[in-house]
Structure 1
């Protein structure tokens, strides 16, 4: 699956009052791997940024004055994201601006070129209700370094968000959350058992029956066959 992590910087907060997109950053993910095939453009908005917005992104009117205008990059942006699932933090904000820019050019809305949209802010609130879920907070929560982030930048924020998204959606890959303790215990076990003398204890009939009962409960909760059946198919216990 091809996914594009996207972020924008803008001159202000409201495209309906004339605010424009001034930077777009996109990071490509294919089958949950970063490809390095990224897209980044600064854009001349043909207007000044609000003071509050300028304090966030630091992109001055002078710096943007020789950059391409949005109509000059619209086609390449459309081609880059076409058919991909787009991942955005607080998607309504960025999509509102991008849809407005495309409408100004009498083109279909930006979202019409995407196969779908994932809002990582919504996902984070579901995973961490009542917690701070800004990009900086999520970087701290998932151990992703953002020490180099002094000002907001569309490409930098997209790169950080890509790492956050992959961390947030990878799932738990071990039964114990205490990695260091588990690693120490496993190491001690391996040290104490000479190679070639590992003992395998098979489940007895009672344990097999109890395990099958657990799988049946998971089947009912999933309203179908639970994923564990694919790895260790067992007959359902007698009712």
Structure 2
């Protein structure tokens, strides 16, 4: 599985976050961070940790309704610094790493702010040494709207194999299977590394990752050429 990707990477880490909202700069934080690492020999390592609230006194009711995570759950969680440290150690453990997430810009941005908040340059260097793959961008090139992870689960006939519970660890397991289906469907995932599409209606995120190329990608991108071919031709 993922043989072409493992020609370049020692490990692939599928990860997901649950958060209190959309604004990591000031108001919101990660409340659950999960990751599953797979190396080129098929060995797996998992982490799934809750993070105590420190930016808000209580978890918004809509987040509890969506994820099932409660204030009581988070009261037994760990400090952000310890959880981010565990995640960075997973990255550092096995050499060159590809980080994969669905709508990766969102999750990566929250991780970046958490690292900055803990003022650790070594962690940031380890994180910056990774490459990134956004399955949301790939999926927009292959299927019509909607493009959420749960839509991919349905389209790739994975309903009886995985679940989309809006819990980070479940989404990681689902993401592995969705990515596997994408890889078997067309072996071009390596062309999407460090390439993120954005909705032309809203433009790219202001907080850009240094090594990522951001390209306008319409909601009906599946009708045209793959995004990486657009870059190649400079269109």
Q: Same fold (TM over 0.5)?
A: yes
Counterpart CA distance in 1 for 2:175 and 2:22 is: 21
| Structure 1 residue 90: Cα displacement | 0.3
Counterpart CA distance in 1 for 2:30 and 2:84 is: 11
Stretches of 4+ aligned residues off by more than 6 angstroms:
none
Q: Does 1:121 align with 2:141?
A: no
1:145-177 Cα shifts (integer Å, max 9, x gaps): 26874731101000001100011112369xxxx
Q: How many residues align?
A: 171
Whichever of the two has the greater Rg, that structure is 1
Extract unaligned runs of 5+ from structure 2. Answer: 1-5, 188-235
Select the structure that is richer in helix. Answer: 1
DSSP 3-state at the match of 1:7: strand
Counterpart CA distance in 1 for 2:119 and 2:138 is: 32
Q: Please point out which of 61, 64, 69 is paired with 2:71.
A: 61
Extract unaligned runs of 5+ from structure 1. Answer: 174-239
* Contact 1:28 1:34 (C-alpha < 8 Å) held by counterparts: no
Q: Please point out which of 103, 106, 113 is paired with 1:100.
A: 113
Counterpart CA distance in 2 for 1:93 and 1:110 is: 19
What are the residue-to-residue correspondences of 1:179-198 with 2, within 5 Å?
A: none
What are the residue-to-residue correspondences of 1:45-56 with 2, within 5 Å?
A: 45-46=53-54, 47=56, 48-56=58-66
1:107-145 Cα shifts (integer Å, max 9, x gaps): 2448734520000000111122x3322111101111112
Counterpart CA distance in 2 for 1:153 and 1:163 is: 16
